[in-house]
Amino acid sequence: MNWPESISPLQANTRRHFFGRCAMGLGGIALASLLEGQKLFGATSAAATNPMPPRLPHFHPRAKKIISLFMAGAPSQLELFDYKPKLVELNGQPIPPSFIEGKRFAFMDSSHGTNLLGTGRKFARRGQCGAWVSELFPHTATIVDDITLVHSCAADLFNHAPAKLFMNTGSGQFGRPSMGAWVTYGLGSECDDLPGFVVLQSGPRGPRGGAVNWGTGFLPTSFQGVPLRGSGEPILNLTSPRGISATRQRQTLDALGDLNLRRAVETGDPEINTRIAAYEMAYRMQSSAPELIDLSGESKATLDLYGVDPAQPSFARNCLLARRLVERGVRFVQLYHTNWDSHGGPGENLQDDLEKVCRDVDQGQAALVKDLKARGLLDDALVIWGGEFGRTPMGEKRETAGRNHHIDAFTMWFAGGGVKAGRILGQTDELGFSPVEDRCHVHDLHATILHLLGLEHTKLTFRFQGRDFRLTDVHGEIILKMLA
């Protein structure tokens, strides 16, 4: 460039130009780092093959992987695990005012003025731990000595979408990272040809709130959950178009990588690095994803254990895929199954509809725990079961028997990964309204889950808009009684 005689080339360069163009400056350093990640001089970089390489936890972990079985719509603990003989005895009687004084429910007009509703399901003590389990879960009843049942869970929000968000992100506000995103951000993944965080869905529809339940919020988008379809193409648009050879595709990806790399050096935008990694991950998944969902290598005994028809998508099939995913090193697998809403009325009653959704999940979830245990995977894989809240001890004014949303007391269970086997934790009052022992808030559950992974929940933070955010916000106590 020809500069005016009064201005030297050095004077014409701004500080931004200097840092961006100087070979030994920040731009050059950034370029060298990025080129190393693109196999400069033939060297293979871990960052080039895996955008989230394994990271060391804060301390020795008990669990290394998580499988979350999310029962979207809120299963009724009073029909499944929390047996209340007194509630059955007082069925149809008015609610003692002291139990609902100051309480709020999702549907005030259909809940207040209604009577107590005792379950019509038969319960029996199961296993050596003597846990009460309903007739609706005959298969799950066979694993009670391998799980910790927590009857005293509590949440803050009583409408489905924000409550799901709260259970998954620790906040009812949009824009916060999901637990799976926090976990992969903190620990990375042990798998370089599948995402570190995978989501599987089953049931009549997707969960309310949708993708924000497995999103990254303000974390880099490489940590978000990737939905994997149970049939057909595992991930949409993953297959190469007809007529595109592997060589041509590789050349295209290399060209895109070069363009993105140049832009990353110019802007310093970390999301461009995420984009580069996403293209490379998609390329590798073209072979790994179809192999994952191909169940032809599974034995008949295994398929029968889960109750899986390999040709049909189902929750049970997703449970088997979850086992295959953690075997391959995927860090966080989340299964959503709908619809557990039980207000009463068409599609949501406590009779046929509840029985159907229980049949959908019962065999598969029990088989998952048994299969993980038989393969030695349950030692470091933590299985979590539960919904966004529970159900009220009183009925609702609907066409058929149903229950309202209840945030003060509900049941979840945990298996493997350092939790106590055959443990029954927490008690609720004789009608099931509130915990009377060992209340376990969602923030406490999150703190405990991170602890099992070797992560100190107060130290797993990300600075955003001038504040250090974390999954447990400013709350959370480790539930020591859950730990083995």
Backbone angles phi, psi at 96, to 5 degrees: -60, 125
% of the chain residues with pLDDT over 90: 65
DSSP secondary structure of 55-103: ---SS--S-SEEEEEEETT---HHHHT---HHHHHTTTSBPPHHHHTT-
What is the DSSP secondary structure assignment for residue 481, as one 8-state letter? G
Answer yes or no: is pLDDT of 310 > 70: yes
Answer yes or no: is pLDDT of 295 > 50: yes
Residue type, 7: I
Residue type, 176: R
pLDDT value of position 348:
92
Query: pLDDT tens digit string along 198-232?
Result: 999 999 988 988 899 999 999 998 899 999 876 65
How far CA 418 is from CA of 166, 185, 301, 320, 422, in Å, comes to 24, 21, 28, 22, 12
Interacting residues of 86 by C-beta distance below 8 A, sequence separation 6+: 430, 431
Q: Which two tokens stand for residue 11?
A: 């004077």
pLDDT value of position 311:
85
Residue whose tokens read 């999940």 = 361
In terms of C-beta distances under 8 Å and separation of at least 24 residues, what long-range contacts does 243-247 make, across chains too? none
Query: pLDDT tens digit string along 159-177?
Result: 999 999 999 999 999 999 9
Contact 161, 405 (CB under 8 A): no
What is the DSSP secondary structure assignment for residue 158, as one 8-state letter? -
How far CA 127 is from CA of 130, 132, 143, 148, 253, in Å, comes to 5, 9, 8, 12, 55
> 424 has which bridge partners?
149
% of the chain residues with pLDDT over 70: 79
Backbone angles phi, psi at 17, to 5 degrees: -60, -40
d(CA 369, CA 347): 29
Answer yes or no: is pLDDT of 338 > 90: yes
